[in-house]
């Protein structure tokens, strides 16, 4: 990955942030600590890439999603859970899907199939993109600082921290969802 980053730089960052590119964002942000990249520029490019990718996926879901869902029984089966989550927790789900490994790519597409308005998704997508890019880049920057202290390969450390943060976010999302479902049952 380091060869990819060194060869492609900010373009590689943009490409990485279009797909599930946390490792690219973390690695480039960690290199910003060493002065190889400018952290605010990294944050901006990561933000634009992630928001653009999810916005396009949302529109594809709005326009073509029903046909795709009908042709893909596997996607149709998994979509039921997403629709249930959207119905109960639309705002937290839209704000949080980008932090959950494995559902990030398909979620905006499926949200496009729901009754969520374009304006609502766009505003929440922008807010979530800001939160994701700032947190990811700051985390990457500190990974660079940490790797400098212990003298290890920051690519491996970035991957480890990425996994740890993903697990923490999944656990937090689980408990937030559990809390919200308890509050909904009381109403």
Q: Which long-range contacts (CB under 8 A, 24 or more apart) does 64-73 make?
A: 65/109, 65/110, 65/112, 65/113, 66/113, 68/109, 69/113
Please indicate whether residue 152 or residue 93 has the higher confidence score (pLDDT).
Answer: 93
Quote the tokens at residue 143. Answer: 């990974």
Q: What are the tens digits of pLDDT across the range 137-149?
A: 998 888 887 776 6
Q: Which domain holds residue 87?
A: 2-186
Distance of CA 58 to the CA centre of its chain: 14
Q: What are the tens digits of pLDDT across the range 28-56?
A: 898 898 888 999 999 999 999 999 999 99
Rounded to 10 deg, the angle between the 39-71 and 118-150 helix axes is 130
> How many residues appear in the chain?
187
Enter the pTM of the model.
0.75
Residue that is written with structure tokens 């408990």 in the block: 175
Residue 105: predicted pLDDT = 79
* pLDDT at residue 99 tops 60: yes
- Total domain count for the chain? 1
* pLDDT at residue 178 tops 70: no
Cα–Cα dist 144/158, whole Å: 8
């Amino acid at each position: 990955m380091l060869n990819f980053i060194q060869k492609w730089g900010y373009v590689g960052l943009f490409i990485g942030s279009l797909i599930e590119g946390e490792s690219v964002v973390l690695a480039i942000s960690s290199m910003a600590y060493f002065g190889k990249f400018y952290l605010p520029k990294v944050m901006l490019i990561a933000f634009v890439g992630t928001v653009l990718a999810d916005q396009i996926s949302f529109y594809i879901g709005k326009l073509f999603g029903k046909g795709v869902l009908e042709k893909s029984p596997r996607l149709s089966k998994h979509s039921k859970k997403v629709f249930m989550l959207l119905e109960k927790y639309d705002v937290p789900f839209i704000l949080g899907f980008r932090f959950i490994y494995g559902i990030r790519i398909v979620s905006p597409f499926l949200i496009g199939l729901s009754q969520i308005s374009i304006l609502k998704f766009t505003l929440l997508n922008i807010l979530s993109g800001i939160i994701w890019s700032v947190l990811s880049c700051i985390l990457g920057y500190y990974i660079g600082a940490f790797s400098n202290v212990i003298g290890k390969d920051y690519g491996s450390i970035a991957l480890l921290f990425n996994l740890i943060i993903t697990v923490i976010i999944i656990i937090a999302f689980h408990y937030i969802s559990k809390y919200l479902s308890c509050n909904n049952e009381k109403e």
